[in-house]
Amino acid sequence: MDEKVASAIAHWGPRFTANGVTPADFARVTSSVERWPDWCGAWVSVGEQHEALGREALAEGRLRSGGEHLAQAAAYYHFAKFVFVEDLDQMRDAHRRAVRAYTDALPHLDPPGRRVEIPFEDGALVAVVRTPYGDGPFPVVVMIPGLDSTKEEIRSTEQTFLARGLATFSVDGPGQGEAEYDLRIRGDWGPVAEVLWETVGQQPGLDRDRMAVWGVSLGGYYSVRVAAALGDRLTAAVALAGPFCFGECWDGLPALTRDTFRVRSGSATDDEARAVADTLTLADVAGDVTAPTLVVFGRKDRLIPFQQAEKVHAAVAGSELLMLDEANHGCADYSPWHRPRTADWLAARLGGDAGDPTAPTLAKSGA
């Protein structure tokens, strides 16, 4: 097993199984890959098996199963490409497969979802909206993935919000997912925040007056940026594993992460990418955040040092810090310790329901 394969497994293994990959498939695929150039193809091959199950189920009218299989296939295709930037053609093909499988799954998810395409500068942002069963409008959580994650990866986190009567609006921002080819990573998310605010307000079933933002990893940085830009228009914010200044973390990042950032920031060299990373800082905006903010972090994070979370907490007035002493990056290895708590925290502030799941709540009525 070469160094890059070992790095991917060591840094992100729990994330795969927390976000849609079965433990058996994870073991089967990773044990078969010895060279990094074979990584993407190995995951695509298993993704094709799950997609075939989904297509067969849809053809037989088993729509729920079809949606579940296709969403799982999308996760496998996503993990084929997530940091595979050494062969961009192969990466992009795996990404197309992920988007197609997930798009076809959306009408059959529980609850269903729909795509929203948002013109932005020289490209477009793409989001997936899902609402609980029952009559809206519903409070909404704008969900922002990280450097190497996309809207197709965060479905399991969506479910914790949906179960509490909160709609989800999961978006690929600049440098992420479907937007990564035309729009580069940027430190200033003020313009992004404004277009998201306008788009949420135009969507049926969503209550923009009860809107929160949640982000993971680099998305945790973006979530604070969105909170700073929207000010008192935003009801709450969650930053999971996000840096205070990404440039301060650069020397400790895995090579796969640095390479991915270089490509998605449009940088030609590592030095250019480092310079862009230095622009991803909250130093000039953290004081503008007025919404209640929850900072979630793992003390054993091997990508972003836990001191970065302490800086965010200190800079955002009134914020709360949930530090998990044994958790790694993104806290996927300790997801039961933070996902339900985060969803309850947001439900309490947005008007969802963190109580009895058998009661006739927003999430259950009409189901």
State the catalytic residues. Answer: 217
**Residue showing tokens 């955040």:** 289
Comparing CA positions, the residue from 50, 54, 53 lying closest to residue 77 is 50
Q: Which residues contact 306 (CB under 8 A, 6 or more apart)?
A: 297, 298, 299, 300, 323
**Beta-carbon neighbour count of residue 32 at 10 Å?**
11
What strand order describes the sheet that includes 236-240? 113-120, 123-130, 167-172, 138-144, 206-216, 236-240, 293-298, 320-324
Tokens coding 176: 């992420």
Q: Please, what is the Cα angle at 336 between 327 and 113, to 5 degrees?
A: 115
Residue with the two structure tokens 């009218």: 61
Here the tokens at position 175 are: 């440098």
Here the tokens at position 157 are 């986190």
Handedness of CA 301, 303, 305, 311 (dihedral sign): negative
Question: Measured between alpha carbons, how far is residue 312 from residues 320, 322, 329 in Å?
Answer: 10, 12, 16
- DSSP per-residue codes, 195-251: HHHHHHHHSTTEEEEEEEEEEETHHHHHHHHHHHHHGGG--EEEEES--SBGGGGGG
